[in-house]
Structures are given as C-alpha cells and as structure tokens.
Amino acid sequence: METVAKKPSYKHAWTKRHYALALAEAFYEPCYETGKAVRTAIKQVNHEPMALASIWDTWTEPNTGELIVSFSMLTIDAGNHPVMKRIHKPEDEKRTVVPLRPELFDAWLNAIPDEALARLQLDSIPELVLT
C-alpha cells in the first residue's frame, strides 16, 4: 500500500483506478507462537467469505503480442492489528492483505486514489480469527 502509487509494476493500475476485490474463504500465514512456523488459516469471525483489496492491469507481452491480465493483492502494516500482529516471526514486519468490511466494497471499487488509500487501513478490516 505504501508504494503502490510509485512502483512501476503498480503505478498504472493505481492511477487508472483498476481496483478489484479478490474473494477468499481464508488466507494463510505462518504463525510462530509455538516457536516454529505453523501454517495458519485466517478467516472472518463469522466464517463467511471475505473480499481482499486488490488491483488489476493489462499489458501486452512484447514477443507474442498476447494481452496479459495481471492482478495483485495489496498489503498493509498490521503490527497494531489484534490478530495479525501475532503472525510471522516476532522480529519480522507484520504485513497483511486487506480484507474489507462489506460496507466498504462500493467505496473501494469507486474510489479515487486518495480515497482508496484511506480505505486501506486497519479499521477497514473485519473481525478475524486464526484457525
């Protein structure tokens, strides 16, 4: 999220407002609470599918002329999130994809870039649980 407007790989999609929602039942991260990496599913507390803030773009493969659609899920710092701060090694940066609360779907998809940045915050994330 912090570099999406600047990095060449994402800048075009961001400025053209190619915002998307990736649907998922869960996403997985390594949890080190036991001292070892344990693959852990993160789901909404209500166990309903979630929508992850994403961007998409198209580009033409120079050698073949094929039109390619690319897609990226955006991440934010989650060091202060009550669940996500428990993930990854203690000394590692805590990052997470951004599941959005349903009431923010339309606002995300129709945002201008400054508004979109405001949607990518910890308070936009629904209640999560490790499973």
- Block mean pLDDT (10 aa), the chain, length 131: 90 95 96 92 96 96 96 94 89 93 95 92 94 91
Three-state DSSP state, 22: strand
Place of tokens 């203690």: 90
pLDDT at 88: 86
Report the predicted TM-score, pTM, of the whole model to 2 decimal places. Answer: 0.90
pLDDT at 80: 92
Tokens representing 37 are: 């990496």
The domain defined by 8-130 folds into hypothetical protein yedk fold (3.90.1680)
> What residue ranges do the domains of the chain occupy?
8-130
pLDDT at 90: 85
